[in-house]
Structure 1
Amino acid sequence: MKMWIVLLLLSVCSETVICYSDGKVEVACGDMTPQHGHEPITKNPPFNITADKSQFSPGDKIKVTLSMASSSEGKHYFKGFLIEARNAGNLNEIVGSFKLIDPEISQLLTCDSKEGSAVSHTGKSHKTEVQVIWVAPSDSPSSVQFLVTVAQGYKEYWVKSPGPVVSQNGVAPPPQTTFGGSIGAQTTTSSILSRSFTSEGCGSMKSCLRDPEGCDPQNDTACHFLSFRALGSSVMFELSGPAEGYVSFALSQDKWMVIYIDACNNFLFLILL
Protein backbone atom coordinates (compact mmCIF):
# COMPACT_ATOMS: atom_id res chain seq x y z
CA MET A 1 0.00 0.00 0.00
CA LYS A 2 2.81 2.42 0.85
CA MET A 3 4.46 1.69 -2.49
CA TRP A 4 1.31 2.69 -4.39
CA ILE A 5 1.08 5.95 -2.44
CA VAL A 6 4.69 6.80 -3.23
CA LEU A 7 4.20 6.03 -6.92
CA LEU A 8 1.08 8.19 -7.02
CA LEU A 9 2.87 11.13 -5.42
CA LEU A 10 5.78 10.79 -7.82
CA SER A 11 3.36 10.75 -10.75
CA VAL A 12 1.58 13.91 -9.62
CA CYS A 13 4.84 15.78 -8.99
CA SER A 14 6.29 14.64 -12.30
CA GLU A 15 3.26 15.90 -14.21
CA THR A 16 3.51 19.31 -12.54
CA VAL A 17 7.19 19.67 -13.43
CA ILE A 18 6.74 18.50 -17.03
CA CYS A 19 3.87 20.88 -17.57
CA TYR A 20 5.77 24.13 -17.16
CA SER A 21 8.76 24.09 -14.84
CA ASP A 22 11.67 23.43 -17.22
CA GLY A 23 10.09 24.89 -20.37
CA LYS A 24 10.61 21.76 -22.47
CA VAL A 25 7.15 22.09 -23.97
CA GLU A 26 7.58 20.83 -27.54
CA VAL A 27 4.46 18.75 -26.93
CA ALA A 28 2.51 22.04 -26.91
CA CYS A 29 4.01 23.47 -30.12
CA GLY A 30 0.87 22.90 -32.18
CA ASP A 31 -2.01 24.27 -30.13
CA MET A 32 0.28 26.11 -27.67
CA THR A 33 -1.76 24.72 -24.77
CA PRO A 34 0.02 23.72 -21.52
CA GLN A 35 -0.68 20.18 -20.35
CA HIS A 36 -2.09 21.42 -17.06
CA GLY A 37 -5.49 19.78 -17.21
CA HIS A 38 -7.31 23.07 -16.56
CA GLU A 39 -9.20 25.50 -18.77
CA PRO A 40 -7.22 28.56 -19.91
CA ILE A 41 -8.27 32.04 -18.86
CA THR A 42 -10.18 33.90 -21.58
CA LYS A 43 -10.47 37.35 -20.00
CA ASN A 44 -8.17 40.20 -20.96
CA PRO A 45 -4.54 39.13 -20.56
CA PRO A 46 -2.38 41.19 -18.17
CA PHE A 47 0.54 41.35 -20.57
CA ASN A 48 1.66 43.00 -23.82
CA ILE A 49 3.52 41.56 -26.78
CA THR A 50 5.18 44.02 -29.16
CA ALA A 51 7.60 44.08 -32.09
CA ASP A 52 10.13 46.81 -32.83
CA LYS A 53 9.37 46.75 -36.57
CA SER A 54 6.17 46.56 -38.59
CA GLN A 55 7.81 45.63 -41.91
CA PHE A 56 10.71 43.39 -42.87
CA SER A 57 12.69 41.78 -45.66
CA PRO A 58 13.98 38.18 -45.70
CA GLY A 59 16.91 37.89 -43.29
CA ASP A 60 15.85 40.87 -41.16
CA LYS A 61 15.83 40.62 -37.37
CA ILE A 62 12.88 41.82 -35.30
CA LYS A 63 12.97 42.23 -31.52
CA VAL A 64 9.86 40.80 -29.86
CA THR A 65 9.04 41.84 -26.28
CA LEU A 66 6.67 40.08 -23.89
CA SER A 67 6.01 42.18 -20.79
CA MET A 68 3.49 42.64 -18.02
CA ALA A 69 1.06 45.48 -18.60
CA SER A 70 1.56 48.44 -16.28
CA SER A 71 -2.18 48.51 -15.56
CA SER A 72 -2.43 44.78 -14.79
CA GLU A 73 -4.21 43.72 -11.61
CA GLY A 74 -3.34 40.80 -9.37
CA LYS A 75 0.01 39.15 -10.01
CA HIS A 76 2.57 41.40 -11.66
CA TYR A 77 4.68 38.60 -13.04
CA PHE A 78 4.52 35.43 -15.12
CA LYS A 79 6.39 32.13 -14.81
CA GLY A 80 6.03 30.26 -18.08
CA PHE A 81 5.71 31.36 -21.69
CA LEU A 82 5.80 30.09 -25.26
CA ILE A 83 6.41 32.45 -28.19
CA GLU A 84 5.92 31.50 -31.85
CA ALA A 85 5.74 33.28 -35.20
CA ARG A 86 3.20 32.03 -37.73
CA ASN A 87 1.95 32.76 -41.21
CA ALA A 88 -0.76 35.40 -40.71
CA GLY A 89 -2.70 33.89 -43.60
CA ASN A 90 -2.40 30.33 -42.24
CA LEU A 91 -1.89 30.22 -38.49
CA ASN A 92 -1.05 26.51 -38.62
CA GLU A 93 2.28 27.30 -40.32
CA ILE A 94 5.27 28.17 -38.12
CA VAL A 95 7.58 30.74 -39.74
CA GLY A 96 11.23 31.66 -39.19
CA SER A 97 13.51 31.14 -36.22
CA PHE A 98 14.47 32.92 -33.02
CA LYS A 99 17.68 34.01 -31.30
CA LEU A 100 17.97 34.47 -27.55
CA ILE A 101 18.79 37.71 -25.75
CA ASP A 102 18.77 36.30 -22.21
CA PRO A 103 19.49 32.53 -22.17
CA GLU A 104 19.10 32.44 -18.38
CA ILE A 105 15.33 32.81 -18.63
CA SER A 106 14.62 31.72 -22.23
CA GLN A 107 15.49 28.77 -24.45
CA LEU A 108 14.96 27.70 -28.06
CA LEU A 109 12.61 24.87 -29.02
CA THR A 110 12.27 22.76 -32.14
CA CYS A 111 8.67 22.91 -33.34
CA ASP A 112 7.38 21.35 -36.55
CA SER A 113 10.89 19.96 -37.15
CA LYS A 114 12.24 23.53 -37.39
CA GLU A 115 15.11 24.21 -35.00
CA GLY A 116 14.77 27.41 -32.98
CA SER A 117 11.23 28.04 -34.23
CA ALA A 118 9.83 28.78 -30.75
CA VAL A 119 11.00 30.19 -27.42
CA SER A 120 10.02 29.11 -23.90
CA HIS A 121 11.10 29.66 -20.29
CA THR A 122 13.94 27.81 -18.55
CA GLY A 123 12.42 27.79 -15.07
CA LYS A 124 9.49 28.99 -13.00
CA SER A 125 11.15 32.15 -11.67
CA HIS A 126 9.03 35.30 -11.63
CA LYS A 127 9.44 37.35 -14.81
CA THR A 128 8.12 40.75 -15.84
CA GLU A 129 9.68 40.95 -19.31
CA VAL A 130 11.26 38.69 -21.93
CA GLN A 131 12.89 39.81 -25.18
CA VAL A 132 13.84 37.60 -28.13
CA ILE A 133 14.95 38.14 -31.73
CA TRP A 134 12.94 36.72 -34.63
CA VAL A 135 14.80 36.13 -37.91
CA ALA A 136 12.75 36.33 -41.11
CA PRO A 137 13.41 33.36 -43.43
CA SER A 138 14.09 33.61 -47.16
CA ASP A 139 10.74 31.97 -47.94
CA SER A 140 8.70 34.09 -45.53
CA PRO A 141 5.01 34.70 -46.32
CA SER A 142 3.86 38.26 -46.91
CA SER A 143 2.67 38.72 -43.31
CA VAL A 144 3.62 37.05 -40.04
CA GLN A 145 1.84 37.13 -36.67
CA PHE A 146 3.41 36.52 -33.27
CA LEU A 147 1.48 34.31 -30.84
CA VAL A 148 2.16 33.76 -27.15
CA THR A 149 1.02 31.51 -24.33
CA VAL A 150 1.69 32.83 -20.83
CA ALA A 151 1.37 31.05 -17.48
CA GLN A 152 1.27 32.81 -14.12
CA GLY A 153 0.63 29.53 -12.31
CA TYR A 154 -0.55 25.96 -12.77
CA LYS A 155 -4.21 27.03 -13.10
CA GLU A 156 -3.63 30.57 -14.41
CA TYR A 157 -2.63 30.76 -18.05
CA TRP A 158 -3.61 32.37 -21.35
CA VAL A 159 -3.31 30.34 -24.56
CA LYS A 160 -2.30 31.50 -28.04
CA SER A 161 -2.86 35.20 -27.41
CA PRO A 162 -2.39 37.07 -30.71
CA GLY A 163 0.38 39.63 -30.94
CA PRO A 164 1.42 42.10 -33.64
CA VAL A 165 1.39 41.32 -37.36
CA VAL A 166 4.47 42.28 -39.38
CA SER A 167 4.51 42.41 -43.18
CA GLN A 168 7.16 42.23 -45.87
CA ASN A 169 8.30 45.54 -47.33
CA GLY A 170 5.95 46.66 -50.08
CA VAL A 171 2.97 44.82 -48.58
CA ALA A 172 0.26 47.06 -47.13
CA PRO A 173 0.34 46.45 -43.35
CA PRO A 174 -2.93 45.28 -41.75
CA PRO A 175 -4.51 47.08 -38.76
CA GLN A 176 -2.33 46.50 -35.72
CA THR A 177 -3.81 44.92 -32.60
CA THR A 178 -2.47 45.67 -29.15
CA PHE A 179 -3.07 43.63 -26.03
CA GLY A 180 -2.92 44.13 -22.31
CA GLY A 181 -5.70 45.91 -20.44
CA SER A 182 -8.04 46.12 -23.45
CA ILE A 183 -7.68 43.04 -25.59
CA GLY A 184 -8.54 43.46 -29.21
CA ALA A 185 -8.26 47.25 -29.28
CA GLN A 186 -7.21 48.19 -32.81
CA THR A 187 -5.24 51.17 -33.97
CA THR A 188 -5.23 52.03 -37.66
CA THR A 189 -3.25 54.64 -39.52
CA SER A 190 -3.57 56.07 -43.00
CA SER A 191 -0.70 56.83 -45.32
CA ILE A 192 0.08 57.44 -48.97
CA LEU A 193 0.86 54.20 -50.77
CA SER A 194 4.38 53.86 -52.09
CA ARG A 195 3.08 51.93 -55.09
CA SER A 196 -0.16 50.74 -56.67
CA PHE A 197 -1.95 47.58 -55.63
CA THR A 198 -1.25 44.55 -57.79
CA SER A 199 -3.22 41.54 -58.98
CA GLU A 200 -0.27 39.30 -58.12
CA GLY A 201 -1.49 36.53 -55.83
CA CYS A 202 -5.13 36.72 -56.95
CA GLY A 203 -6.68 33.27 -56.73
CA SER A 204 -3.91 31.90 -54.51
CA MET A 205 -2.99 34.32 -51.71
CA LYS A 206 -6.07 36.53 -51.94
CA SER A 207 -9.52 36.76 -53.53
CA CYS A 208 -10.00 39.49 -56.14
CA LEU A 209 -12.80 41.32 -57.95
CA ARG A 210 -11.72 43.20 -61.09
CA ASP A 211 -13.39 45.29 -63.76
CA PRO A 212 -12.50 44.93 -66.61
CA GLU A 213 -12.03 41.22 -65.95
CA GLY A 214 -8.40 40.24 -65.44
CA CYS A 215 -7.07 43.82 -65.21
CA ASP A 216 -4.08 44.71 -63.04
CA PRO A 217 -4.27 48.03 -61.12
CA GLN A 218 -0.49 48.23 -61.11
CA ASN A 219 -0.35 48.98 -64.85
CA ASP A 220 -3.97 49.81 -65.74
CA THR A 221 -5.30 53.11 -64.38
CA ALA A 222 -8.83 52.21 -65.56
CA CYS A 223 -8.92 49.05 -63.43
CA HIS A 224 -11.48 48.83 -60.63
CA PHE A 225 -9.88 46.50 -58.10
CA LEU A 226 -10.96 44.93 -54.79
CA SER A 227 -9.04 42.17 -52.99
CA PHE A 228 -9.30 40.60 -49.57
CA ARG A 229 -7.41 37.97 -47.59
CA ALA A 230 -7.36 36.65 -44.05
CA LEU A 231 -4.66 37.82 -41.64
CA GLY A 232 -5.14 35.81 -38.50
CA SER A 233 -8.43 36.94 -36.99
CA SER A 234 -8.55 40.02 -39.27
CA VAL A 235 -9.21 40.59 -42.96
CA MET A 236 -7.14 42.95 -45.12
CA PHE A 237 -8.84 44.69 -48.06
CA GLU A 238 -7.26 46.49 -51.02
CA LEU A 239 -9.48 48.86 -53.00
CA SER A 240 -8.59 51.14 -55.90
CA GLY A 241 -10.07 52.52 -59.10
CA PRO A 242 -10.56 55.65 -61.20
CA ALA A 243 -12.89 58.23 -59.65
CA GLU A 244 -13.24 62.00 -59.36
CA GLY A 245 -14.12 61.67 -55.70
CA TYR A 246 -13.63 58.32 -54.00
CA VAL A 247 -14.25 54.60 -54.38
CA SER A 248 -15.88 52.47 -51.69
CA PHE A 249 -17.31 49.06 -50.96
CA ALA A 250 -19.67 47.60 -48.36
CA LEU A 251 -20.44 44.26 -46.75
CA SER A 252 -23.91 42.73 -46.61
CA GLN A 253 -25.30 39.77 -44.69
CA ASP A 254 -27.70 38.86 -47.50
CA LYS A 255 -27.62 38.62 -51.30
CA TRP A 256 -28.92 42.16 -51.80
CA MET A 257 -27.06 45.42 -51.53
CA VAL A 258 -29.47 48.24 -50.70
CA ILE A 259 -28.16 51.80 -50.93
CA TYR A 260 -29.91 54.85 -49.50
CA ILE A 261 -28.90 58.26 -50.80
CA ASP A 262 -30.17 61.55 -49.39
CA ALA A 263 -30.05 64.30 -52.01
CA CYS A 264 -31.12 67.91 -51.78
CA ASN A 265 -32.77 69.26 -54.97
CA ASN A 266 -34.52 72.61 -54.70
CA PHE A 267 -35.01 72.00 -50.99
CA LEU A 268 -36.68 68.63 -51.66
CA PHE A 269 -35.04 65.64 -49.99
CA LEU A 270 -35.09 62.49 -52.09
CA ILE A 271 -34.33 58.95 -51.02
CA LEU A 272 -33.11 56.79 -53.88
CA LEU A 273 -33.25 53.00 -53.61
Structure 2
Amino acid sequence: MAFYALFGMACVLRVTVQGYPSAAGSASCLDLTPQHGAGAQGSSSPYTLWVDTTSVKQGGMVTVTLNATAAGTTFKGFLVQARCTKCSTADTAIVPGTFAKYTASDANIITMECENEAMNSMTHTNNDVKTSATFTWTAPADWNVAEGIKFRATVVQVKVTWWADVMSDEISVTASSTSPVYPVTALVVAGFIAVSSLFP
Protein backbone atom coordinates (compact mmCIF):
# COMPACT_ATOMS: atom_id res chain seq x y z
CA MET A 1 0.00 0.00 0.00
CA ALA A 2 2.82 2.37 0.89
CA PHE A 3 4.44 1.62 -2.47
CA TYR A 4 1.34 2.70 -4.41
CA ALA A 5 1.07 5.88 -2.35
CA LEU A 6 4.69 6.79 -3.05
CA PHE A 7 4.30 5.95 -6.73
CA GLY A 8 1.26 8.21 -6.97
CA MET A 9 3.11 11.09 -5.32
CA ALA A 10 6.03 10.65 -7.73
CA CYS A 11 3.70 10.88 -10.71
CA VAL A 12 2.11 14.09 -9.40
CA LEU A 13 5.50 15.69 -8.74
CA ARG A 14 6.79 14.75 -12.19
CA VAL A 15 3.83 16.41 -13.90
CA THR A 16 4.19 19.54 -11.76
CA VAL A 17 7.87 20.00 -12.62
CA GLN A 18 7.44 19.38 -16.32
CA GLY A 19 4.69 21.99 -16.55
CA TYR A 20 2.66 22.14 -19.74
CA PRO A 21 4.33 20.37 -22.68
CA SER A 22 1.30 20.89 -24.95
CA ALA A 23 0.71 24.61 -24.20
CA ALA A 24 1.27 27.29 -21.60
CA GLY A 25 -1.09 27.09 -18.64
CA SER A 26 -3.62 29.78 -17.78
CA ALA A 27 -1.77 30.42 -14.50
CA SER A 28 1.02 31.95 -16.62
CA CYS A 29 -1.20 34.53 -18.31
CA LEU A 30 -0.31 37.63 -16.29
CA ASP A 31 3.26 37.13 -15.10
CA LEU A 32 4.31 34.88 -18.01
CA THR A 33 5.99 32.53 -15.56
CA PRO A 34 5.96 28.80 -16.42
CA GLN A 35 5.02 26.48 -13.58
CA HIS A 36 8.26 24.51 -13.79
CA GLY A 37 9.51 24.85 -10.24
CA ALA A 38 12.55 26.99 -11.11
CA GLY A 39 13.34 30.66 -11.60
CA ALA A 40 14.21 32.39 -14.85
CA GLN A 41 17.77 32.36 -16.15
CA GLY A 42 19.82 35.41 -15.23
CA SER A 43 21.97 35.39 -18.37
CA SER A 44 21.22 37.22 -21.60
CA SER A 45 18.48 35.54 -23.57
CA PRO A 46 19.56 33.49 -26.62
CA TYR A 47 16.23 34.40 -28.24
CA THR A 48 14.80 37.46 -29.99
CA LEU A 49 11.34 38.68 -30.98
CA TRP A 50 11.47 40.26 -34.44
CA VAL A 51 8.68 42.44 -35.86
CA ASP A 52 8.30 43.41 -39.52
CA THR A 53 7.21 46.97 -38.70
CA THR A 54 7.44 49.46 -35.85
CA SER A 55 4.35 51.40 -36.89
CA VAL A 56 0.88 50.00 -37.45
CA LYS A 57 -2.54 51.55 -37.95
CA GLN A 58 -5.48 50.67 -35.73
CA GLY A 59 -6.72 47.33 -37.06
CA GLY A 60 -3.42 46.77 -38.90
CA MET A 61 -1.32 43.60 -38.87
CA VAL A 62 2.20 42.88 -37.62
CA THR A 63 4.26 39.77 -38.38
CA VAL A 64 6.18 38.52 -35.34
CA THR A 65 8.97 35.92 -35.30
CA LEU A 66 10.48 34.28 -32.24
CA ASN A 67 14.03 33.20 -33.11
CA ALA A 68 16.80 31.25 -31.40
CA THR A 69 19.82 33.44 -32.14
CA ALA A 70 22.73 31.46 -30.70
CA ALA A 71 24.17 28.64 -32.80
CA GLY A 72 22.73 25.28 -31.84
CA THR A 73 20.12 26.82 -29.52
CA THR A 74 16.53 25.60 -29.63
CA PHE A 75 13.40 25.98 -27.53
CA LYS A 76 10.47 23.77 -26.64
CA GLY A 77 7.83 26.13 -25.31
CA PHE A 78 6.90 29.80 -25.23
CA LEU A 79 4.17 32.29 -24.43
CA VAL A 80 3.93 35.61 -26.30
CA GLN A 81 1.64 38.58 -25.69
CA ALA A 82 1.38 42.20 -26.80
CA ARG A 83 1.89 44.43 -23.79
CA CYS A 84 1.17 48.13 -23.37
CA THR A 85 4.35 50.14 -22.71
CA LYS A 86 2.77 53.44 -21.70
CA CYS A 87 -0.22 52.27 -19.66
CA SER A 88 -0.27 52.91 -15.92
CA THR A 89 -0.44 49.12 -15.45
CA ALA A 90 2.20 48.31 -18.10
CA ASP A 91 3.39 45.16 -16.34
CA THR A 92 -0.01 43.50 -16.58
CA ALA A 93 -1.72 45.33 -19.45
CA ILE A 94 -2.32 42.74 -22.18
CA VAL A 95 -3.28 44.57 -25.38
CA PRO A 96 -6.52 42.98 -26.68
CA GLY A 97 -5.30 42.32 -30.20
CA THR A 98 -5.67 39.06 -32.11
CA PHE A 99 -2.92 36.52 -32.80
CA ALA A 100 -3.03 34.06 -35.69
CA LYS A 101 -0.76 31.52 -37.34
CA TYR A 102 1.39 32.93 -40.13
CA THR A 103 1.18 29.56 -41.87
CA ALA A 104 -2.17 27.83 -41.41
CA SER A 105 -0.57 24.37 -41.47
CA ASP A 106 1.89 25.15 -38.64
CA ALA A 107 1.14 22.48 -36.04
CA ASN A 108 3.63 23.79 -33.47
CA ILE A 109 1.75 26.91 -32.35
CA ILE A 110 -1.74 27.85 -31.24
CA THR A 111 -3.59 30.92 -30.03
CA MET A 112 -4.58 31.12 -26.39
CA GLU A 113 -7.17 32.99 -24.33
CA CYS A 114 -5.93 35.00 -21.35
CA GLU A 115 -8.03 37.09 -18.98
CA ASN A 116 -11.20 36.21 -20.94
CA GLU A 117 -9.94 37.73 -24.20
CA ALA A 118 -9.87 35.26 -27.06
CA MET A 119 -6.69 34.85 -29.14
CA ASN A 120 -4.72 37.52 -27.23
CA SER A 121 -1.75 35.19 -26.66
CA MET A 122 0.32 32.75 -28.71
CA THR A 123 1.88 29.56 -27.35
CA HIS A 124 3.25 26.13 -28.32
CA THR A 125 1.25 22.96 -28.96
CA ASN A 126 4.01 20.42 -28.22
CA ASN A 127 7.47 20.13 -26.69
CA ASP A 128 9.27 19.38 -29.95
CA VAL A 129 12.51 21.31 -30.36
CA LYS A 130 12.10 24.50 -32.39
CA THR A 131 14.40 27.20 -33.69
CA SER A 132 11.72 29.72 -34.68
CA ALA A 133 8.00 30.42 -34.66
CA THR A 134 6.24 32.99 -36.86
CA PHE A 135 2.76 34.39 -36.35
CA THR A 136 0.73 37.53 -36.95
CA TRP A 137 -0.95 39.99 -34.63
CA THR A 138 -3.79 42.34 -35.55
CA ALA A 139 -4.09 45.54 -33.52
CA PRO A 140 -7.50 46.40 -32.07
CA ALA A 141 -9.39 48.93 -34.19
CA ASP A 142 -10.09 51.19 -31.21
CA TRP A 143 -6.67 51.14 -29.52
CA ASN A 144 -5.53 54.40 -27.93
CA VAL A 145 -2.84 55.70 -30.28
CA ALA A 146 -0.94 57.32 -27.38
CA GLU A 147 -0.14 53.91 -25.90
CA GLY A 148 2.82 51.99 -27.33
CA ILE A 149 3.12 48.23 -27.68
CA LYS A 150 5.91 45.70 -27.22
CA PHE A 151 5.64 41.97 -27.73
CA ARG A 152 6.84 40.14 -24.65
CA ALA A 153 7.77 36.46 -24.46
CA THR A 154 8.81 33.81 -22.01
CA VAL A 155 10.80 31.07 -23.74
CA VAL A 156 11.45 27.58 -22.35
CA GLN A 157 14.56 25.87 -23.63
CA VAL A 158 14.12 22.60 -21.73
CA LYS A 159 12.20 21.81 -18.55
CA VAL A 160 13.52 24.18 -15.87
CA THR A 161 15.71 26.30 -18.16
CA TRP A 162 13.80 29.34 -19.34
CA TRP A 163 14.15 33.06 -20.02
CA ALA A 164 11.69 35.82 -19.21
CA ASP A 165 11.10 39.26 -20.71
CA VAL A 166 12.24 38.55 -24.26
CA MET A 167 11.05 41.82 -25.83
CA SER A 168 10.46 43.14 -29.34
CA ASP A 169 11.08 46.68 -30.53
CA GLU A 170 8.32 49.09 -29.54
CA ILE A 171 5.48 49.54 -32.01
CA SER A 172 3.61 52.81 -32.37
CA VAL A 173 -0.07 52.78 -33.26
CA THR A 174 -1.52 55.38 -35.61
CA ALA A 175 -5.16 56.23 -36.16
CA SER A 176 -6.72 54.71 -39.25
CA SER A 177 -7.90 57.44 -41.63
CA THR A 178 -11.62 57.49 -42.37
CA SER A 179 -11.59 60.72 -44.40
CA PRO A 180 -12.52 60.27 -48.09
CA VAL A 181 -9.75 60.95 -50.60
CA TYR A 182 -10.70 62.82 -53.78
CA PRO A 183 -8.56 63.23 -56.91
CA VAL A 184 -7.34 66.78 -57.54
CA THR A 185 -9.23 66.90 -60.88
CA ALA A 186 -12.50 66.07 -59.16
CA LEU A 187 -11.97 68.86 -56.64
CA VAL A 188 -11.26 71.41 -59.40
CA VAL A 189 -14.39 70.41 -61.34
CA ALA A 190 -16.50 70.54 -58.18
CA GLY A 191 -15.17 74.03 -57.43
CA PHE A 192 -15.87 75.23 -60.98
CA ILE A 193 -19.44 73.98 -60.81
CA ALA A 194 -19.98 75.68 -57.46
CA VAL A 195 -18.69 79.03 -58.76
CA SER A 196 -20.65 78.77 -62.02
CA SER A 197 -23.87 78.28 -60.10
CA LEU A 198 -23.43 81.78 -58.68
CA PHE A 199 -23.59 83.32 -62.17
CA PRO A 200 -26.64 82.04 -64.09
- TM-score, normalized by the shorter chain, greater than 0.5: yes
| 1:40-75 per-position Cα deviation (integer Å, ceiling 9, x unaligned) | 012111111111011011111100000111xx26x5
Higher share in helix: 2
Higher share in strand: 1
SS at match of 1:94: coil
Q: Is the counterpart of residue 67 in structure 1 residue 67 in structure 2?
A: yes
Q: Which residue of 2 aligns with 1:118?
A: 121
Q: Which residue of 2 aligns with 1:32?
A: 32
Q: Is residue 33–residue 160 contact of structure 1 (8 Å, CA) maintained in 2?
A: no
| 1:3-53 per-position Cα deviation (integer Å, ceiling 9, x unaligned) | 112211220232244x13011422101000011111101211111111101
Identity of aligned residues (%): 24
CA distance in structure 1 between the aligned counterparts of 2:168 and 2:24, rounded to whole angstroms: 22
| 1:141-171 per-position Cα deviation (integer Å, ceiling 9, x unaligned) | 331111000010112101122222100237x
How much has 1:89 moved relative to structure 2? 0.9
Q: Which residue of 1 aligns with 2:81?
A: 84
Higher relative contact order, structure no. (Cα contacts within 8 Å, ≥ 6 residues apart): 2
Q: Which residue of 2 aligns with 1:13?
A: 14
CA distance in structure 1 between the aligned counterparts of 2:101 and 2:80, rounded to whole angstroms: 12
| 1:179-227 per-position Cα deviation (integer Å, ceiling 9, x unaligned) | xxxxxxxxxxxxxxxxxxxxxxxxxxxxxxxxxxxxxxxxxxxxxxxxx
Q: How many residues align?
A: 166
Paired amino acid for 2:12: S
Q: Which residue of 2 aligns with 1:146?
A: 151
Give the RMSD, CA atoms, in angstroms.
Answer: 1.5
Q: Is residue 106–residue 119 contact of structure 1 (8 Å, CA) maintained in 2?
A: yes
CA distance in structure 2 between the aligned counterparts of 1:94 and 1:154, rounded to whole angstroms: 26
SS at match of 2:16: helix
Q: Which runs of 5+ in 2 are unaligned?
A: 176-200
Question: What TM-score results when the alignment is normalised by the length of structure 1?
Answer: 0.58
| 1:223-273 per-position Cα deviation (integer Å, ceiling 9, x unaligned) | xxxxxxxxxxxxxxxxxxxxxxxxxxxxxxxxxxxxxxxxxxxxxxxxxxx
Matches within 5 A, 1:84-233: 84-90=81-87, 91=90, 92-95=92-95, 96-102=97-103, 103-142=106-145, 143-169=148-174
Paired amino acid for 1:2: F
Paired amino acid for 1:9: A
SS at match of 1:165: coil
Question: What TM-score results when the alignment is normalised by the length of structure 2?
Answer: 0.78
